Homo-oligomer: A and B are copies of this chain.
Amino acid sequence: MKKLSLMALCASTAFSMSASGNSDLDIANKIRAEGFYNSEVMHTLQYLTDNIGPRLSGSPQMKEANEWTLKQLESWGLKNAYLDPFEFGRGWTHSAASIDLISPRKVSFHGIPVAWTPGTNGDVTAEVIMFEASSIEDLKKYKGKLRGKILMMGEGRTIGEPQRTIFKRHESSDLGKMKEFPVNRGPSHRSDRHPHYHETSKQRYLFNKALNKFLKEEGAVAAVYRSWRQGGLVGIWGKSHQVGNTFPIPAMVIEAEQYNLINRLMDDGDNPKITMNVKAKFHDEDHNAYNTIAEIPGTSENPKVVMLGGHLDSWHASDGAVDNGAGVAVVMEAVRILKALDIKPKNTIRIALWSGEEQGLYGSRAYVEEHFATRPKPTDKDEAALPSYLWKSPGWPIQPKSDYEDFSVYFNMDNGSGRFRGIYTEGNVAVKPIFGGWFSPYSDLSTGTITNRSTGGTDHESFDDVGLPGFQFIQDPLDYSSRLHHTHIDSFDHVLEDDMKQASVLMAAFVYQAAMRDDVLPRKPMPQGPSKLQKEQMQLKSDKERRKRERDALRALEAQKLIEK
């Protein structure tokens, strides 16, 4: 009896909601059905990763990915689709690479070229030499010693016990902790914090310029780097992609275990020899890279702009599946779902697939600067001559462009294929109740945790930095950081289909909701740059750190003298 009456109640509630035209729930039903049962997300991902493969910024494969995504978005009915160019630098690809130990015994190593380093023009065979330099002083020690040698770039390190857990989902305790706001992290805009780390970056940039010159003059023939991952994973990266700043010799990353082997053989006086062979090519026919842009135009009289995106570029070691094929496939799937449902959004929905993210958010920064806001260039002549990412601080004040006011929000995805467990508000408390409502029809799919914390390292920062709402979701970590991120196994097999479908549905839901609002989303106060107090505090901290480094260096020197006595 009780059971029956409950069922009757449920049925009548459901009926009345539908009849009352609760469009939030109706659309949730539709988005879920389209996203779960007609999903294209894994097909999209598979084409990107299996058929196109790695998509290094500026490479022909990246351009192919730009063109293919453009075509796909158009085929789903998106409008105003185009490739958005920005100045990037040299393109680079490699087609083959091998590295073998040939003496004291033969071992085929597992290595991958460092991006933007030249090929070898056939086999290069040479003795190795340990090379540890991080300052121009250090370089002098190697004067006259490098000719004809392959450089081992730094001492090997003991590997020891590995991380115990490689695969993880967020427990409710993790999510609970994330909700607590850390006051001491400084202002909620990254650009309001004094970027004092830029001093170190600048030193490194200037040192690298000197290093390039030195290695060329001294006639070193190649360089070998140790993977920063262990367990056979080759974790890669790149040298400068800027015209006129190319690393002068072929360079490869090899497995940490293999690097350590060479190092131990050197320590034992076994005089190891290596043969390296890299086929690599620079593509200088076009120094632009491209973002793929497309829209579902808004239908209201004065449509606002709702954006979603993720970076389409990847590193070259594998197929860029979790970083960031997954994010691209999910945002593409979100707009495909909305087009399949034939929604008529009040506001314009614009998808952006960025390039140059891996080298420093180049694509999204260029886009934001072109469309929404610029900042004054440095007044210091020396600083202005450096690449923009090395400017000590972005100039103030921020100069909004005409589209600034009508911009509502940008949703980004770039943390592997883990399902959405919630969202970071980047300290924007005003969006919390709004997002809470949007999560509600999906409470069986996601805890919908909302944290006012910030998360960094990807393209929503380009928006947040100029005071525009840009967000990333909280994702299950899975094995993204433990073994996939920037390694040679970032391939299709490691993307979880169910998680991808869940993320697509939530991304579509959030974009839909933002696109149906009459107004833009609330914003944080406009960033003004660090205050005088903040600057002083940061300077103190920076001075303290510099003094500590100097003390440590002095102690190391004294210890060395004691040993040499």
Contact = CB atoms under 8 A, between A and B. Distances in A.
Contact of A231 (B46, B53, B483, B496): B483
Contacts of A493: 158-159, 230, 256-257, 260
Contact of A165 (B51, B158, B165, B258): B165
A106 interface: yes
A489 interface: yes
A53 B105 contact: yes
Contacts of A51: 104-105, 265, 268, 270
Interface in A153-175: 158-168
Given A105-B53, A163-B166, A260 B492 contact: yes
Contacts of A104: 51
Contacts of A265: 50-51
Interface string A81-112: 00000000000000111101000111110101
Q: State the oligomeric state as a number of copies.
A: 2
A233 interface: yes
A44 B39 CA distance: 57
A364 interface: no
A421 interface: no
Contacts of A257: 318, 489, 491-494
A230, A260, A483, A489 interface centre (most CB from chain B within 10 Å): A489
A158 B158 CA distance: 34
A106 B110 contact: no
A483 B482 CA distance: 15
A164 B171 CA distance: 14
A488 B255 CA distance: 11
A162 B258 CA distance: 25
A162 B158 contact: no
Contacts of A98: 98, 108
Nearest to A265: B50
Interface in A140-159: 158-159
A69 interface: no
A515 to B, nearest CB: 34
**Size class of the contact patch on chain A:** 35 or more
A323 interface: no
A489 B96 contact: no
A358 interface: no
A96, A165, A231 interface centre (most CB from chain B within 10 Å): A231
A487 interface: yes
Contacts of A491: 257-258, 261
A166 B232 CA distance: 14
A56 to B, nearest CB: 13
Nearest to A483: B231
A549 interface: no
B50 A264 contact: yes
A53, A230, A496 interface centre (most CB from chain B within 10 Å): A53
Interface in A462-497: 478-479, 483, 487-489, 491-494, 496
Nearest to A488: B232
Contacts of A112: 108
Interface in A33-54: 46, 50-53
Contact of A100 (B52, B96, B232): B96
A479 B231 CA distance: 10
Given A232-B488, A257-B494, A164 B159 contact: no
A479 B257 CA distance: 15
A8 B270 CA distance: 55
Which 4 residue pairs across A and B have the least CB separation, nearest first? A159-B493, A232-B489, A164-B167, A95-B106
13 contacts: A51-B104, A52-B105, A96-B106, A97-B108, A110-B110, A159-B494, A162-B166, A164-B167, A166-B166, A232-B488, A232-B489, A257-B492, A261-B319
Given A231-B233, A260-B493, 16 more contacts: A46-B264, A50-B264, A50-B265, A51-B270, A97-B108, A161-B167, A161-B478, A162-B167, A164-B167, A165-B166, A232-B487, A232-B488, A257-B318, A257-B493, A257-B494, A260-B492
